Amino acid sequence: MLRNNFEQKNRSENSFSDVIDNNFNARTASSSFVSNVFAMMTLALAISGVAAYWLVATQFYLTLGSVGIMVIQFAPLGLVLLMGFGYKKLSSIALTGVFLIYSVLMGMSIGMIVLMYAASTVYLTFGITSATFLSMALLGYTTKTDLTKFGSLMFMALIGIIIAMVVNFFLQSSMLDYIISIIGVLVFTGLTAYDVQKIKNMSTQVVDGAEETKKMVIMGALNLYLDFVNLFLFLLRIFGSRD
């Protein structure tokens, strides 16, 4: 009887220990996933910053013809589509490579845009963007409110912005451009919180070190990168003083 009680106690203690270990491993994998997403996003932003600075500092843009300018402007969109549609076929290494190439080309594209603005304005706008992004990222990570429906509304608003930008390409209305920029800031501010919450929710289902997890890290980083860059560009259009 004593032996049976002892064995049952051991099995109970082992089961409790296994539960603790599993919970600890799950929390570790979850935090690792989120930190890897932010680390990859930060790396991409740093690469884009260096590429933008290099293009401006070396005046490389002066050597580009119309074809080169078009490649820099439209190639990033093609790479994003490649990552989206080729997600299942591409390996995590290939997906990472495409993402890094995208960040270089996007940085060069941004470099050509910031040429139209004073340097002090660009730095100020970057600071405002960083503060806004971090605040909304913290909100998205800590809030208990489900932002799924809110995110759907933001995507619908984003489609509206794209349509309005196409229309304004022909109208060339400064007032409409200003309104689009304000709405764009609101949309990408909201999407930042939504995407961070989505990444946090995804982190509870990942397997640390798995191929699928590595690919999810890249796509999560891409979403946050797009949120930051678009927020920066819309703010620049609002506050930027053209040279």
Q: CA of 201: how far to CAs of 108, 219, 220, in Å?
A: 33, 14, 12
pLDDT surpassing 80 at residue 203: yes
- 3-class SS of residue 173: coil
pLDDT surpassing 80 at residue 18: no
Average pLDDT over every residue of 141-146: 93
Instruction: Write b or e for each residue in 20-37: b if 16 or more Cβ atoms lie within 10 A of its Cβ, otherwise e.
Output: eeeeeebeebbebbbebb
Task: Give the pair of three-digit tokens for residue 9.
Answer: 């106690």
Q: 230 versus 29: which is more confidently predicted?
A: 230
Q: Where are the domains of the chain?
A: 2-239
Of the ranges 54-58, 66-70, 93-97, 239-243, the best mean pLDDT one:
93-97
Who's near 69: CB < 8 A, 6+ residues apart?
A: 61, 112
| Residues comprising the chain, all counted | 243
> pLDDT tens-digit profile of 159-189?
999 999 999 888 888 899 999 999 999 999 9
Task: Give the pair of three-digit tokens for residue 99.
Answer: 């993402």
Q: Flag the least confident range among 36-40, 95-99, 235-239.
A: 235-239
